[in-house]
A and B are shown apart, each in its own frame.
Chain A
Amino acid sequence: MSEIDTQIAKPKARLTQSAVPALELLRWFAWTPRFTTALEWREWISNKELPDESIFVGEATPAIDFIPIAMRKKLSQLTKVSLHVAHHCLTAEERLSMATIFASRHGESAITAELLDSIAKDEPLSPMGFSRSVHNTASGLFGIIERNQAPTTALAAGDESFAAGLIETALQIASDSSATPRLLVYADERIPVSFQSYVKEPPVLYGAAFLFGPSTNNHTSKIFADASVPVAFPHALSFLFKYLRLQNGSFNC
Chain B
Amino acid sequence: MLSPCKISALEMINCLGSSRAVIESKLFSGQANDLSVQRILRGQNEALVGAVTVKLSQVPAEFALFNSRLTQLLFALIQQLQPEIERLRATYAQDRIGIVLGSSTSGIGAAEEGYIVRHNTGSFPPEYHYHQQELGTVSGFLRCITGFNGPAYTVSTACSSSAKVLGSARMLLDLGICDAVITGGVDSLCRLTAQGFNALELLTVSRSNPLSANRKGLNLGEGGALLILERLAGGVQLLGIGEGSDAYHISAPHPEGRGAITAMRSALDRSEVATNSVKYINLHGTGTVMNDAMESVAVSSVFASELTSTLIPCSSTKPFVGHLLGAAGATEIGFCYAMLMQPGRDKPLLPHLWDGVFDPLLPRLNPANVGDTVRIEAGDTVLSSSFAFGGSNCAVILGLAG
Chain A positions within 8 Å of B, measured between CB atoms, are 13-14, 17-21, 105-107, 112, 115-117, 119-127, 130-137, 139-141, 143-144, 146-161, 164, 167-168, 171-172, 174-175, 191, 194-195, 198-199
Per DSSP, chain B at the interface is helix
Q: Which of A126, A146, A149, A164 contacts B151 (CB 8 A)?
A: A164
Residue pairs across A and B with Cβ atoms less than 8 A apart, 9 shown, are A20-B177, A125-B195, A131-B196, A135-B135, A140-B389, A144-B248, A144-B250, A156-B153, A164-B152
- The answer to whether A149 and B199 touch across the interface, beta carbons within 8 angstroms, is no
Please name the 6 residue pairs, one residue from A and one from B, whose CB atoms are nearest each other, closest first.
Answer: A140-B390, A130-B196, A198-B130, A158-B136, A164-B153, A135-B156
Known: A122-B42, A158-B140, A175-B174. A148 touches B200 (CB 8 A): no
Q: Which of A18, A117, A139, A194 contacts B390 (CB 8 A)?
A: A139
- The answer to whether B247 and A18 touch across the interface, beta carbons within 8 angstroms, is no
Chain A nearest Cβ from B77, distance in angstroms: 19
User: Roughly how many angstroms separate A13 CA and B149 CA in the complex, as a whole number?
Assistant: 9
Closest to B325 in A: A134
Chain B nearest Cβ from A97, distance in angstroms: 11
Per DSSP, chain A at the interface is mixed
- The answer to whether A134 and B390 touch across the interface, beta carbons within 8 angstroms, is yes
Q: Which of B103-123 contact A (CB under 8 A)?
A: 104, 108, 111-112, 115-116, 118-119
Known: A151-B243, A175-B175. A161 touches B96 (CB 8 A): no
Chain A nearest Cβ from B304, distance in angstroms: 21
Chain B nearest Cβ from A47, distance in angstroms: 31
- The answer to whether A121 and B248 touch across the interface, beta carbons within 8 angstroms, is no
B26-54 near A? 1/0 per residue, CB < 8 Å: 00000000000000001100000000000
- The answer to whether B153 and A160 touch across the interface, beta carbons within 8 angstroms, is yes
Q: Which of B111, B116, B171, B199 contacts A127 (CB 8 A)?
A: B199
**Number of chain B residues close to chain A: CB under 8 A:** 67
Measured between beta carbons, the chain B residues less than 8 angstroms from A21 are 175
Give the tally of cross-chain contacts (CB within 8 A). 204
Chain B nearest Cβ from A199, distance in angstroms: 6
User: Roughly how many angstroms separate A116 CA and B149 CA in the complex, as a whole number?
Assistant: 34
Q: Which of A155, A156, A171 contacts B172 (CB 8 A)?
A: A171
- The answer to whether A119 and B151 touch across the interface, beta carbons within 8 angstroms, is no
Q: Which of A126, A172, A175, A194 contacts B199 (CB 8 A)?
A: A126
B128-142 near A? 1/0 per residue, CB < 8 Å: 011101111101100
Measured between beta carbons, the chain B residues less than 8 angstroms from A195 are 130
Known: A105-B134, A136-B158, A153-B157. A119 touches B389 (CB 8 A): no
User: Roughly how many angstroms separate A125 CA and B259 CA in the complex, as a whole number?
Assistant: 28
Closest to A19 in B: B177
Closest to A138 in B: B390
Closest to B263 in A: A151
User: Roughly how many angstroms separate A199 CA and B195 CA in the complex, as a whole number?
Assistant: 28
- The answer to whether A157 and B250 touch across the interface, beta carbons within 8 angstroms, is no
Measured between beta carbons, the chain B residues less than 8 angstroms from A137 are 250, 390
The reply on B381 being an interface residue by CB < 8 A is: no
Closest to A15 in B: B151
Measured between beta carbons, the chain A residues less than 8 angstroms from B391 are 140, 143-144
Known: A122-B43, A136-B158, A172-B171. A161 touches B95 (CB 8 A): no
Q: Which of B359-402 contact A (CB under 8 A)?
A: 388-392
The reply on B192 being an interface residue by CB < 8 A is: yes
- The answer to whether A157 and B195 touch across the interface, beta carbons within 8 angstroms, is no
Q: Which of B129, B164, B192, B246 contacts A116 (CB 8 A)?
A: B192
- The answer to whether A149 and B245 touch across the interface, beta carbons within 8 angstroms, is yes
Known: A168-B168, A199-B130. A150 touches B111 (CB 8 A): no
Chain B nearest Cβ from A238, distance in angstroms: 19
User: Roughly how many angstroms separate A127 CA and B174 CA in the complex, as a whole number?
Assistant: 41
Measured between beta carbons, the chain A residues less than 8 angstroms from B155 are 153-155
Known: A124-B199, A171-B175, A175-B174. A161 touches B136 (CB 8 A): yes
Known: A120-B115, A153-B164, A156-B135. A17 touches B389 (CB 8 A): no
Q: Which of B307-338 contact A (CB under 8 A)?
A: none
User: Roughly how many angstroms separate A253 CA and B69 CA in the complex, as a whole number?
Assistant: 44
Chain A nearest Cβ from B290, distance in angstroms: 13
User: Roughly how many angstroms separate A172 CA and B175 CA in the complex, as a whole number?
Assistant: 10
User: Roughly how many angstroms separate A171 CA and B248 CA in the complex, as a whole number?
Assistant: 27
The reply on B72 being an interface residue by CB < 8 A is: no
Chain A nearest Cβ from B220, distance in angstroms: 13
The reply on B350 being an interface residue by CB < 8 A is: no
Measured between beta carbons, the chain B residues less than 8 angstroms from A136 are 156-158, 388-390, 392
Measured between beta carbons, the chain B residues less than 8 angstroms from A149 are 244-247, 258-259, 262
Chain B nearest Cβ from A149, distance in angstroms: 5
The reply on B20 being an interface residue by CB < 8 A is: no
The reply on B271 being an interface residue by CB < 8 A is: no
The reply on B150 being an interface residue by CB < 8 A is: yes
Q: Which of B111, B136, B245, B249 contacts A105 (CB 8 A)?
A: B136
Chain B nearest Cβ from A218, distance in angstroms: 16
The reply on B282 being an interface residue by CB < 8 A is: no
- The answer to whether B390 and A143 touch across the interface, beta carbons within 8 angstroms, is yes
- The answer to whether B108 and A112 touch across the interface, beta carbons within 8 angstroms, is yes
- The answer to whether A18 and B178 touch across the interface, beta carbons within 8 angstroms, is yes
